[in-house]
Amino acid sequence: MFRRIIAAIALLGAGAGWWVTAPTYLPRADEITLMAAAPDAALGEQVFWAAGCASCHVPPDTAETDTPILSGGQAFASDFGTFYAPNITPSPEGIGGWTLMQFANAVQAGISPEGAHYYPAFPYTAYAKARHEDIAALFAFIQTLPADATPSRSHDVGFPFNIRRSLGGWKLLFGEPDGPELQPLSPSTERGAYLAEALGHCTECHTARNALGGLNTSLWMAGAPNPSGKGRTPNITPAALDWSQVDLMAYFTTGLTPDYDSAGGKMASVVQNLARLPEADRMALVDYLKALPPIANQQPASEQVR
Amino acid sequence: MKLKRVLTMTGLAFGLVAGTAFAAGHDGPPPAVKARLGLMANFAYNLGVLGEMAKGNTDYNADVAAVAAANLAAFSATDQSLLWTAGTDTGSISGTRALPKIWEAKADFNSKSADLAKASMTFAAAAGTDLAGLQGAIGGVGAACGACHKAYREPQ
């Protein structure tokens, strides 16, 4: 009898676990607004660069041209394994034949057309906050880019992280990270927040994570260890980033720091993307950074680097 | 017997002193790396003169801008083949952030260096004309700096 109760509880637990880890698709209402949005490829091009799609999805050591080939293959090492960016060109190996709703579920809910959870190396927790018209426009723009038949490479992820179903639990716990209140809150800082938090996914590198890889939202943009190697991504809250607005604008346009060094590594890609945005959007990002709550460095000053 | 010991001790002591002196003479990175860093510092210094004008932090001066941009073009046209000596990557020595990839992809590395020289030439032609010309062309130089640092410089 006792054994039976235990078995029943275990079964219930497993059932509950199965239920909570199931993919949660975008709601039906989203489909209606998505379908109603104009497939505006010109807007989509702006969304594309603001969201930094090319930075990860072009092949390794390939320049991000105006019409990049998004055939994937770049490796992203982490504590959980190595992830490889997939092919997202409009080919059968990529997103060829996908519906807008499948695309939106992939980008905003982290669910593949086959119903599997994507790993959050793909920043869908940020993209979840993107507007429907931007997603529909992005889908239209990506269709205009060259198709390529390179197959996507499987991720190199060990047990237990290779059980994709468990990502359902991860999404429940960490799926909707909220940014801090801005001071001041103006149309420009709000636009900046949208660009930084929904599209640009700056927190992915600039905010520290807990042991399970969830963002520590109380340390928003206060810097984090580099997940793929040595060094730290810098604190970009006003407590540490004392560059003037003019300096930040110049950095976002030319990649040159106030010392006339240049951005390197992943940030060089980010700057190239930002340089393609309208000036008002770069200014909005500057205003956003200045409006973030200042958070002191989490490391001794000697270890902080730009 | 005693003499032998004295000689040995003297030899040892001499060796020790000489060794220290030798080590002191080789403090810091090797000369090729110092020269590389010096070249980068010259890029940054001249670019800084121009960048401060572009930002409006200093007044635009066509003559000064022309000199700084010509310097930048000359420095970036330097043949750097003698600077990137074997064994001077970040995996081999300290004091550099030059990734080993530089030596594995020399042709691409050289072409990125040529891109900087090209962007600097364009910049030199524009910077001395007027402020708008300067502001319009500095981005190309920044992009060339970034393209190489993105691929070949170790993040801090």
Predicted local distance difference test score (pLDDT) of residue A140: 98
Q: What is A79-141 written as a DSSP string?
A: TTEEEEPPP-SSSTTTTTT--HHHHHHHHHH-B-TTSPBPPTTS-HHHHTTS-HHHHHHHHHH
- Put simply, the answer to whether B146 touches A305 (Cβ < 8 Å) is no
Tell me the C-alpha distance between A37 and A199, whole Å. Answer: 18
C-beta atoms surrounding B67 within 10 Å: 16
Residue numbers of chain A with a pLDDT score lower than 70: 1, 299-306
- A232 - beta bridge partners? A225
- Put simply, the answer to whether A231 touches B156 (Cβ < 8 Å) is yes
Q: Complex ipTM above 0.85?
A: no
Tell me which residue in B45, B55, B146 faces A272 most closely, judged by beta carbons: B146
Extract the tokens encoding A275: 């340089």
Tell me which residue in B142, B147, B153 faces A256 most closely, judged by beta carbons: B142
- Put simply, the answer to whether B155 touches A266 (Cβ < 8 Å) is yes
N-terminal to C-terminal alpha carbon distance within chain B: 58
Q: Which residue of B has its CA nearest to A263?
A: B146
CA dihedral A22, A131, A123, A204 (to 10 degrees): -130
- Put simply, the answer to whether B155 touches A264 (Cβ < 8 Å) is yes
Extract the tokens encoding A175: 């799926």
CA distances from A189 to A181, A218, A238, A286 (A): 10, 19, 14, 8
Q: φ and ψ at A255, to 5 degrees? A: 80, 5
N-terminal to C-terminal alpha carbon distance within chain A: 64
Is residue A260 within 8 angstroms of chain B, CB to CB?
yes
Strand, coil or helix: what is A224?
Answer: strand
Contacts of B149 in chain A (CB under 8 A): 262-265, 268
DSSP-assigned letter for residue A196 = I
- Give A105-113's long-range contacts (Cβ < 8 A, gap of 24+): A105/A25, A105/A26, A107/A135, A107/A138, A108/A26, A108/A135, A109/A23, A109/A24, A109/A25, A109/A26, A110/A167, A110/A171, A111/A23, A111/A24, A111/A25
Extract the tokens encoding A71: 């055939």
- Put simply, the answer to whether B54 touches A250 (Cβ < 8 Å) is yes
- Put simply, the answer to whether A265 touches B57 (Cβ < 8 Å) is no
d(CA A169, nearest CA chain B) in Å: 33
Q: Which residue of B has its CA nearest to A305?
A: B156
Strand, coil or helix: what is A150?
Answer: coil
Give which of B112, B122, B145 to mutate to test A binding, by max A Cβ within 10 Å.
B145
Residue numbers of chain B with a pLDDT score lower than 50: 1, 11-12, 14-25
Is residue A256 within 8 angstroms of chain B, CB to CB?
yes
C-beta atoms surrounding B18 within 10 Å: 10
Interface of A with B in 235-254 (CB under 8 A): 246-247, 250, 253-254
- Give B59-65's long-range contacts (Cβ < 8 A, gap of 24+): B60/B130, B60/B131, B60/B134, B62/B128, B62/B129, B62/B130, B63/B128, B65/B127, B65/B128, B65/B134
d(CA A75, nearest CA chain B) in Å: 14
Do B82 and B32 touch, CB atoms closer than 8 A? yes
C-beta atoms surrounding A226 within 10 Å: 15
Q: Determine what percent of chain B falls in helix, strand and coil, rounding each to the nearest 5.
A: 70, 0, 25
Could you tell me how many CB contacts below 8 A there are between chain A and chain B? Answer: 74
Predicted local distance difference test score (pLDDT) of residue B24: 42
Predicted local distance difference test score (pLDDT) of residue A300: 54
Extract the tokens encoding A190: 């709000």
d(CA A86, nearest CA chain B) in Å: 21
Q: Which residue of A has its CA nearest to B143?
A: A254
